[in-house]
A and B are shown apart, each in its own frame.
Chain A
Amino acid sequence: MLKKRIIPSLLLKGNGLYKTTKFSNPIYLGDAINVAKIFNAKEVDELMLFDIDSSKLNKAPNFSLIKDIASSCFMPLTYGGGIETIENAKKIFKSGIEKIALNTALFKKPRLVKELSDYFGRQSIVASLNVKRDLFGRYIVVNNSLKKCYDGRLPDLLLELTEAGAGEIFINDVDRDGTLKGYDINLAKLVCSNSGLPVSFCGGASSFEDIKEVLFEGGVSGAVAGSLFVFSGPRKAVLISYPSSDDIQKIISSDER
């Protein structure tokens, strides 16, 4: 049967890798290619790469870096950041990326999802959403500068994106980013029950238990984490890690619960 996925998420800035807290205070982790090689050696299920400068600074993706990372990775890669045209997307796929994630462009160029999906197939298009709580605790969708960018309800947006041709939903929980507080299981459930697509979920993971919880109670297909796989200890020393195959067996065999 299909196995649940455990996915490190890496943030690119220039040629370096960083980790943020609540989308701010980026901490430098190391050279992007080296870190990707370490994750490849650990046989991770998948890697997600996000260029946190591309959209903000309106820059095209860093194609040469993406190509170098892809050539040392023998697992699926998702890339997000600065993709606004079919031509850019073509170059990304050609460099060895399987899936592209759209975030800013979802709201800036609403027709792009359909265009990309028609051309490359829905399975290669990930709709990436930053979710936050407003003052009343309601879930809102925000852009990378944390400004609200969608007025309707989250379930309606999920439906719209599915109909437009997205093949996967990626949720980035801004309030829990880098906090090690555990995943918001209610948000995971809300997204899964309102989407027929695979859902990958990021924000707050601090332990394998958290991962198990979001996969089986939350119902997501992919548990995504940053800090958990790049830091060690309370002082956040940089240490690249990933569960061993025995640990993965314990996490993803749901019948052991």
Chain B
Amino acid sequence: MEIIIIDTGMANVGSVSNMIRYLGFQCTVSNDINLIKNADKLILPGVGSFDEGMLALKNSHLLDCLIEEVITNRKPILGICLGMQLMTKGSEEGKIPGLGWFDAETKKFDSTYLGQKRIVPHMGWNSVKASKHLELFDGFENSSKFYFVHSYYVDAYNSSEILCTTEYGEKFVSGLNKDNIFGVQFHPEKSHRYGMNLLKSFIELEC
């Protein structure tokens, strides 16, 4: 099993590789096109702003390679936080179009909801309700929780692409999935055993 964590030069790649190695799997942090082509599974982490993220992919000449591997060859990929947002059509945070793999757009949380003040960013531990791929969230008798830190969220236009949802004033989409493409808004690599279970399940998933 060869897992490549795509290095955009600006993400929290250290934490993701730490957890995957702790789980006993091999992984490499890289932006090398050959390694990405030979990988079994890809992870696209993300910290930073939307345009910086898209520019990082463009500047590393990864766009064509990712489209071929993920869309044509259907290689499983997991986007984390900004990594998932980049898979939408675009973001209110930036001007550059996203990858457009999901029928979704990335929007900013309002600082009020139903007249109540809402703190943005949404930062801390929150629970998620799985809509599919329950194995990613299994095993904790509904007590699982994940660490979130984000000011933007994905608005999914096709409900069949919703992987999971979370409440923050209102319900929002905290994970997306279509075929071999997965994305989560929270940080599994920073979510203790709940995150380990999710990463392990993704790695062992047969798509």
Tell me the A residues contacting B by CB distance below 8 Å. Answer: 1-5, 43, 45-46, 67, 70-71, 74-77, 90, 93-99, 118-124, 167-168, 196-198, 221-222
Contact = CB atoms under 8 A, between A and B. Distances in A.
12 contacts: A1-B127, A4-B124, A76-B147, A94-B14, A96-B18, A118-B49, A121-B49, A121-B82, A123-B151, A196-B111, A198-B121, A221-B124
Nearest to A120: B48
A67 B14 contact: yes
B149 A76 contact: yes
Interface stretch (B36-44, B153-161, B187-195): B187-195
Contact of B149 (A4, A45, A123, A197): A123
Tell which of A2, A94, A124 has the most Cβ of chain B within 10 Å: A2
A75 B147 contact: yes
B77 interface: no
Residue among A4, A75, A123, A196 with the most chain B CB within 10 A? Answer: A123
Interface of B: 9-15, 18-19, 22, 47-49, 52, 82, 111, 117, 119-127, 145, 147-151, 167-168, 187, 189-193, 195-196
B192 A123 contact: no
A4 B123 CA distance: 9
A70 B151 contact: no
B47 A121 contact: yes
A95 B125 contact: no
A74 B195 contact: yes
B126 A3 contact: yes
Contact of B12 (A1, A98, A118): A98
A197 B195 CA distance: 26
A96 B125 contact: no
Contacts of B167: 1
B73 to A, nearest CB: 29
Contact of A198 (B124, B190, B192): B124
B192 A120 contact: no
A74 B189 contact: yes
Contacts of B119: 196-198, 221
Contact of A74 (B12, B123, B126, B196): B196
Contacts of A119: 10, 48-49, 52
A74 B14 contact: no
Q: Would you list the 8 A-B pairs with minimal beta carbon distance, nearest first?
A: A96-B14, A96-B15, A123-B121, A3-B125, A123-B149, A71-B18, A198-B123, A76-B190
Nearest to A94: B14
Nearest to B82: A121
A2 B149 contact: no
B190 A75 contact: yes
A95 B195 contact: no
A49 B19 CA distance: 20
Q: Which of B52, B122, B192 has the most CB of A within 10 A?
A: B192
Contact of A222 (B10, B124, B148): B124
A122 B189 CA distance: 20
